[in-house]
Chains A and B, each alone.
Chain A
Amino acid sequence: MISKTRDITLLEILDRALNKGVVISGDIVISVADVDLVYLGLKVLLSSVETMEKLRGAPFAEAG
């Protein structure tokens, strides 16, 4: 069972840290490509809060 708070926190962080902020690429190109690939996978999960609900099997609630 995933910790509810940690799960939500991680999803919220990923949603921000992987796609927002100062979005420029450093000069380690391969690493950047890796992140983009990871991000593509994560995006599927992040695109739906409902998915998170189903995974957790509990009612959606306020986290903060």
Chain B
Amino acid sequence: MRIYTSCIIDATEELNASISGLEGASVYNIPYNDIGIVSSDLSGKVVTDENTVMTHEKVIETLMEKYTVLPMRFHTVFRKEENVILMMQRLYDEFKINLQRLCGKVEIGLKVLWNGKEVKARIIEGMNGDGSIRQTNGASPGRNLLEEKLIEYRVDNAFEHEADRNIEGINNMLNGYIADRSYKRLQTENLLLDAAYLVEKERIAHFREIFGKIRTTYCDFRYLLSGPWPPFSFVNIEKHDYSCPQYFFFDTQQDIKRYGG
């Protein structure tokens, strides 16, 4: 029987609620020192489909109502309970630090979209107006090419500057309401901001309130606000190189091949 792990919690007690994990199996807590890892027995292979991912999330969300949770990445499976305990033993300090840092907090997701093409068009219009873009009619093809590249470079720079300015504005409005943030900017031309914010549970309403103001202030943008989520984006566990042959940490597909996966 293999062990499917859902999350680390800040408690050693048995779980009161009846929670079903993958394959409909009951989840239970495996205690280690003063923390625990919520797991369930797994008889077959995990099918990586929509339902199993949703079940993984649902288990963690249910536990999040009562405990501080460190969500495990989907599909973290161990051959036997001894290996789970070994992992807990080796990472206990890091789990503990993370649990303390994330106590009473949740993650809220925010995606902000703008119309990248329109923003670039406005930038080019502005550059034409102030003479930043010079006409090169009659110049040699080489000169024209260089000018085009230079214009492209300037437009891209201005575009990124505009993105940074807006992101800074949004983040500044949220600053007093969050404990931490993690974000990526311009993953695509239109995806201005893809952010996760760590928010104290008691401040979720305040966060939503200030989000309403952001929508008003930046009314040309479109938004996707989601959550509260377990704090997936704020778990900070360093990867370790274990020499124990029964316990490997794989970083890449190359590592998996090297160790015979």
Chain A contact residues, CB within 8 Å of chain B: 8-10, 12-14, 16-36, 38, 47-50, 59-64
Expressed in whole angstroms, the Cα–Cα distance for A42 and B71 within the complex equals 20
Would you call A49 and B77 a contact (CB within 8 A)?
no
In the assembly, what is the distance between CA of A53 and CA of B73, in Å?
27
- Chain B residues closer than 8 Å to A21, beta-carbon distance: 7, 70-73, 230, 232, 235
B191 near A22 (CB under 8 angstroms)? Answer: no
A26 to chain B, nearest CB (A): 4
Contact A12–B73 (Cβ < 8 Å): no
Could you count the A-B residue pairs with CB atoms below 8 Å apart for me: how many are there?
Answer: 149
Contact B191 A64 (CB under 8 A): no
B78 and A49 contacting across the interface, CB-CB below 8 Å: no
Please indicate the chain A residues that have their CB under 8 angstroms from the CB of B261 in the complex. Answer: 29-30, 32-33
B54 in contact with A32 (CB, 8 Å): no
B48 with A50: CB separation less than 8 A: no
Q: 1/0 contact trace for B222-240 toward A, CB 8 Å?
A: 1111110110110101010
Q: Which residues of the other chain, B, contact A23 by a CB distance below 8 angstroms?
A: 73, 235, 237, 239
Contact B73 A62 (CB under 8 A): no
Contact A10 to B83, CB < 8 A, known contacts A17-B73, A22-B8, A25-B250? no
Residues of A within 8 A of B134 (CB): none
Report the minimum CB–CB distance from B18 to chain A (whole Å). 22
Closest-by-CB residue of B relative to A36 is: B253
Which chain B residues lie closer than 8 Å to A20 at the CB level? 71, 73, 232-233, 235
Residue B56, interface by CB 8 Å: yes
CB distance A22 to B77 under 8 Å? no
**Residue B172 CB within 8 A of the other chain:** no
- State the Cβ distance, A8 to closest chain B Cβ, in Å: 7
A9 to chain B, nearest CB (A): 8
Option from B75, B188, B224, B229 in Cβ contact (under 8 Å) with A8:
B224
Contact, CB under 8 Å: B253 / A13: no
Residues A31 and B188 in contact in the complex (CB < 8 Å), given A17-B74, A18-B73, A64-B227 = no
B141 to chain A, nearest CB (A): 35
User: B16 interface residue, CB < 8 Å from A?
Assistant: no
- Which B-chain residue is minimally distant from A50 (CB atoms)? B190
A24 to B95: give the CA distance in the assembly, Å: 12
Please choose the segment from B124-132, B158-166, B241-249 that sits at the chain A interface, where 4 or more of its residues have CB less than 8 A away. Answer: B241-249
In the complex, A31→B22 CA distance in Å?
Answer: 15
Inter-chain contact B74/A35, CB cutoff 8 Å = yes
Which of B8, B45, B229: most chain A CB closer than 10 A? B229
What is the CA–CA distance of A29 and B256 in the complex, to the nearest angstrom?
Answer: 7
